Amino acid sequence: MRRTPAIAVATLTVAALALSACGRDNAAGGGSTQKAKDISSGKATGTLTVWAMGAEGDKLPDLVKEFEAANPGVKVNVTAIPWDSAHDKFTTAITAGTTPDAAMVGSTWMGEFAGLDALDPVPPSIDTSAFFEGAQKTNEVNGTDFGIPWYVETRLIYYRTDLAKKAGITTPPTDWDGLKAMAKAMQTKAGAKYGMGFQAGGQGSWQSIMPFAWSNDANLTKDGGKAYNFDDPKILEAVKYYQSYFTEGISDKAAPNTPTTEPDFKSGRVPMFISGPWMMSAVEKVGVKKDQYDVMQIPAKTKSSSFVGGSNFAVFKKSKNRDSAWKLVKWLADPKVQAKWYGMSTDLPSVKSAWDDPSISGDDKLAKFGKQLETAQAPPTFPTWEQVVTGFDTEMEKVTKQGADPAAALKSAQQQAESIGTGQ
């Protein structure tokens, strides 16, 4: 009698531990290539529920009003979702079967959602060759397209033109050695504390490191795109190069996790960094003048390349109004609509021909982003990518902050990746 409570507690503890035990998320593979049904040619009808995150969710209702005007029978309800935990909201909705008809989907989520069999393959009447290739690839899971790139971004190197002049540099470098020499000159001649504001490892640092790996012609997958390839010698070269900025004191080992990029850029303390197009308005907001800075492509080892991000648009399998949902997505990919959306949101168009619009082609800095987008690449669409790259980011923190051996770090990242698997 006395022992009953102890046994009960023990049983409950075991049960609780079993319940909380976690392994890899068991995303069943997307399987073989899926064949998509085409959509009808008439106008869109009925009601559509659409989810979109953050500022896009805030502004999308204004854009879809025009879609509703062109298709009088349709009503589009846009729900704006915060970026925080948006991923949780999607996966919960997928499990419970309460997904919307169509939604903006983070470009690194495609593999996972397609693996959960939640996404509808793109119908053949949508021309996927109109998009930037790197961005288009983020939609392709196991040979099937599950969405379209809606807007894109890529990473370039920002630098202060006035300080570069002081450092004796008038034409931006195009190779790795040139970039490092420039960053050094910023320190020795232009009074910068650090020449380059590289992220010292930690979450998301792969987005700064991989552009160099890709510029060295590295491939993040091997065996015909079936396995991770972190210990590739070409990636190793890029990581060694990245690490040298920290060992030579050009980048700050102790850079905070929430970097003070904008004010440091303005004060000239760190006059160079690598980031995406949103930083243009961010640095201008803190008082950097438009003619005080410029952007340059990632310098090449073999060919210049960068990371392509952004968001995709996808239709969910559970949609009761699939036909009209795809019509909306097709409309969003129209070059004219894309240019208009740039005007409303400053999101860069994913459709190449939309860049001919004077509002975009007239801007020198934007044009450089456009040029980089042609060669920019995306990480593999394995469902486990987000999980695997977290391990890589942690290894990179050891490399930058503690001077760990890059080869050993990549080997460890590769081992972790292999033990997790691709999830396909």
Judged by the rule CB under 8 A, the positions of this chain that interact with other proteins are 4-5, 8-9, 12-13, 15-16, 19-20, 49, 53-55, 57-58, 77, 79-85, 88-89, 92-93, 95-98, 153, 260, 262-264, 276, 278, 282, 285-287, 311
Closer to other proteins by CB, 19 or 69: give it.
19
Closer to other proteins by CB, 36 or 282: give it.
282
d(Cα 304, Cα 291) in Å, to the nearest integer? 25
Q: Are 181 and 241 in contact (CB under 8 A)?
A: no
Considering only CA atoms, give the Rg of the chain: 23
CB of 65 to other proteins, least distance (A): 16
With tokens 């900025």, the residue in question is 245
Closer to other proteins by CB, 210 or 218: give it.
210
CB of 22 to other proteins, least distance (A): 9
CB of 413 to other proteins, least distance (A): 24
Closer to other proteins by CB, 30 or 57: give it.
57
d(Cα 312, Cα 151) in Å, to the nearest integer? 7
Closer to other proteins by CB, 88 or 291: give it.
88
CB of 339 to other proteins, least distance (A): 21
CB of 393 to other proteins, least distance (A): 17
Burial of 25 (0-12, 13-18, 19+ CB in 10 A): middle
CB of 146 to other proteins, least distance (A): 20
Q: Are 207 and 307 in contact (CB under 8 A)?
A: yes
Number of CB atoms found within 10 A of residue 408's CB: 13
Closer to other proteins by CB, 63 or 409: give it.
63
Closer to other proteins by CB, 83 or 124: give it.
83
d(Cα 303, Cα 214) in Å, to the nearest integer? 8
3-state secondary structure at position 303: coil
CB of 12 to other proteins, least distance (A): 4
CB of 278 to other proteins, least distance (A): 5
d(Cα 242, Cα 259) in Å, to the nearest integer? 18
Number of CB atoms found within 10 A of residue 233's CB: 11
- The one-character DSSP state at 198 is -
Task: Tell which residue, 120, 268, 159, 257, has the closest CA to residue 201.
Answer: 257
Q: What is the DSSP string of 146-183?
A: --EEEEEEE-EEEEEHHHHHHTT--S---BHHHHHHHH
Closer to other proteins by CB, 311 or 372: give it.
311
Q: Are 65 and 72 in contact (CB under 8 A)?
A: no
